[in-house]
A and B are shown apart, each in its own frame.
Chain A
Amino acid sequence: MKDIIFELKNITYGYIDGGKKRVILDDLNYEFERGKFYTILGPSGSGKTTLLAIASALDTPERGQVLFEGSDIKKLSHTKFRRNNMAIIFQKYNLTDYLTGVENVESNMMIVDKKIPGNQKEIAYKVLNSMGIVRSKADRKVTKLSGGEQQRVAVARALSKDVPLILGDEPTGALDTATSKEVIALFKKLVKEYNKTIILVTHSDDVASNSDISLMLKNGKLEEVKWD
């Protein structure tokens, strides 16, 4: 029996463009299993980022439900869902510019209701270190870090929250090949060893081929992709 952690149910989303209604997500349904690594592919403008925004409760669908562990996230409260049940990695790092790397990570850890036991700052340093950000760099303001380093801080920030669901919008887009591979390896480790569910939106076939299940967003619906 499948252990469903996350479910998109009859999701419909569209917008008015030039007086015409354009449907991006059309009665979309999908069930995500716990402990699996998913990637979502699709051409530009297909609605991948919108789908991720709805999945992470950053936006709300016109119709349909997002279920987390069988409960509608609307009933759980979108804010609490974002705080305690998921973490998101953005395409453009989205770090707080007046904070250092470690402060960005620590800040995210401070928001969750159930904090990881121990010294929060030391934990933040450890997570950053696992992403290749040494202490001296972690103590720099994020604006003083390179794009790749900022993205690693962004990934570390997501990983620092001990949540079962991690969503990412092109999280390796700004990383060099070597770091990108390290991050993907880390994601796979989180899935295998810590039973996390990871859903990434990507353009990269390489990233997609490393995932357990690849999905293609086409005509407002998700279809599984079989890799040969």
Chain B
Amino acid sequence: MRILKHSFLSLLRKPTKAVMILVILFIVFSMVFTGVIIQNSIAKSKEFVRLELGAVVEYKADYMKAYRDNLPEDEFVQLELSKATADTMASDSRVEKVYINYSDYLESSTYKTVDSDESNNGMVMTVGFDDAAYFNFKATDNHLPIEFDTSKLEIIEGRNIEASDDDAIVISEEFAKKNELALNDEMSFKSYSQTDELKFTVVGIYKVKDTNFTGNDMYVSKKSLSGDQADVISSIFFKLKDPLEVDGFIKDQNVNLPSKYTVLDAGNSEYDILTKPLDLMSIIASILIWVIFIAGAAIIVSLITIFVRDRKFEVGLLLASGEARYKIIAQFVLEIIIVAVIAFGCSVLLSFQSSQMVSEWIVENQLMEEEETTNDDLFFIGGMNSVNGDVNMENVANDFSVSITFDVMRNLFIISIGIVIIASLIPLGIILSYNPRQALQD
């Protein structure tokens, strides 16, 4: 009771030094909090990019590396994808599904291709001899093709491919229209080597929901692919349970890659490019936080030392009256905590305002300016798998907002209060080590 009463009375009746401490704490806390809030917002924004990119990791050949290294043709085996490796990685508890894909190019001079506009990759179709066209036939082990699972494509008529199908085919809506095909129609193609005639029945029609797809892709079961390509894996995708586990999964599973010419990719290049300006801001914010934190802590310790030393006589008086040392400590620490809590509250309010301003500046001057460059970069890096989510710098800029979690706030509070408590305990410890007579001497 005495402690509480005297703490408040001291602050109210001798406010000068308390106000000085309050102002310093407010400035230091505000600057540190602004930095922390921005860092937290940046972390959230990076999380947003990762969530938007999705939870799909592709195990694929690194052709660029092979090209750069001039990999001899007889060593191209190093580029092959291994089912055993895929099985090992699929046993990771973070994996929800694994898609092992096979593909083959089949020829037809009967069917017209869907024209791809310039924005599409348009790499799935090649015009062959005698105006014949090659179509990309895709098959997946066990599951539905990942394009359907990730909502890039959607069945609008009939059904999807099943593993047990012998001659079923799923075609795009655009392709069906262009070639006047409907469900249950028969289609025939020639194998790449022109040796086999493969016949299919249309069991489903899909709608393209992503501009990365042209509508020229045909989906069949694995066993209906022509024999020579049926066992060559074209791509392997792992769909993870949580997009935020992608980085950890890649880090842990990299050791299982059979050669340096195979990689695990979850749109890493895109992620790196999109998050580059965020990382730069995060580094600047981090430096700012530490510089202010260290300088601020030194100033706070000095100021509180003056505050406590100034009241050495009062400490001596309380000791002379028989007050327990821990109660004297409690009184002084309580006073400092009251000041620190007020400063903390004000700082949090100001920090939201100031970090809002800084974040607007980041969006205007860093993210939006980066948008054009980034899009160019993304075009040149290529290799981005078609099933990852679409995200660009504009999305990142639109999503970027000041945010702070309760955990961060709680940690900031604990650290702030911890500093002022330590700053009070140092001079108090020195004064309380005196005997009361020494403490009472001016």
Contact = CB atoms under 8 A, between A and B. Distances in A.
Chains A and B form a bound pair: yes
Interface of A: 53, 56-60, 79-84, 88, 90, 94-99, 103, 107-108, 110-112, 141
30 contacts: A56-B320, A57-B436, A58-B320, A58-B435, A59-B435, A59-B437, A60-B435, A79-B319, A79-B322, A79-B324, A82-B319, A82-B321, A82-B322, A83-B324, A84-B322, A94-B317, A96-B6, A98-B9, A98-B14, A99-B6, A99-B13, A103-B9, A107-B6, A110-B1, A110-B2, A111-B318, A111-B321, A111-B322, A112-B322, A141-B13
Nearest to A57: B436
A79 B328 CA distance: 12
Residue among B1, B320, B322, B324 having the largest count of chain A Cβ atoms under 10 Å: B322
A84 B323 CA distance: 10
A143 to B, nearest CB: 10
Contact of B436 (A58, A80, A84, A98): A58
B10 interface: yes
Contacts of A107: 2, 6, 321
Contacts of A88: 320
Given A94-B320, A111-B318, 12 more contacts: A58-B320, A59-B436, A82-B322, A83-B321, A90-B440, A96-B317, A98-B9, A107-B2, A110-B2, A111-B2, A112-B322, A141-B13
Output the residue of A81, A95, A99, A112 with the most chain B CB within 10 A.
A99
Interface of B: 1-2, 6, 9-10, 13-14, 313-314, 317-325, 435-438, 440
A88 B436 CA distance: 12
B314 A82 contact: no
Contacts of B322: 79-84, 111-112
A201 to B, nearest CB: 14
A110 B9 CA distance: 15
Contacts of B325: 79
Contacts of A60: 435
A110 B331 CA distance: 14
A97 B13 CA distance: 9
B440 A111 contact: no
Contacts, number: 64
Which of A57, A112, A141 has the most B CB atoms < 10 Å from its CB? A57
Contacts of A58: 319-320, 435-437, 440
A98 B13 contact: yes
Nearest to B1: A110
A94 B313 CA distance: 8
A103 B10 CA distance: 12
Contacts of A84: 322
Contacts of A112: 322
B320 A96 contact: no
A61 B407 CA distance: 53
Nearest to B11: A98
A20 to B, nearest CB: 22
Nearest to B314: A96
A95 B318 CA distance: 10
Contact of A53 (B10, B314, B317, B437): B437
A108 B438 CA distance: 20
Contacts of B10: 98
Contacts of B320: 56, 58, 82, 88, 90, 94
Contacts of A94: 313, 317, 320, 440
B301 to A, nearest CB: 24
Nearest to B322: A83
Contacts of A96: 6, 314, 317
Contacts of B440: 58, 90, 94
A157 to B, nearest CB: 8
A112 B325 CA distance: 14
A99 B324 contact: no
A80 to B, nearest CB: 7
Nearest to A59: B437
Nearest to B6: A107
Most chain A CB within a 10 A radius of its CB, from B9, B320, B325, B435: B320
A83 B323 contact: yes
Contacts of B13: 98-99, 141
Contacts of A99: 6, 9, 13
A123 to B, nearest CB: 15
A111 B323 contact: yes
A59 B318 CA distance: 15
Contacts of A141: 13
A99 B10 CA distance: 8
Nearest to A83: B322
Q: 10 smallest A-B Cβ distances: which pairs?
A: A83-B322, A82-B322, A98-B13, A58-B437, A110-B2, A59-B437, A58-B436, A53-B437, A98-B14, A111-B321
- A84, A90, A98, A110 interface centre (most CB from chain B within 10 Å): A98
A98 B318 CA distance: 14
Contacts of B318: 111
Contact of A108 (B321, B435, B437): B321
B11 to A, nearest CB: 9
Contacts of A53: 437
A110 B323 CA distance: 9
A95 B2 CA distance: 16
B339 to A, nearest CB: 15
A49 B110 CA distance: 118
Nearest to B439: A58
B376 to A, nearest CB: 68
Contacts of A81: 322
B263 to A, nearest CB: 70
B67 to A, nearest CB: 80
A141 B13 CA distance: 10
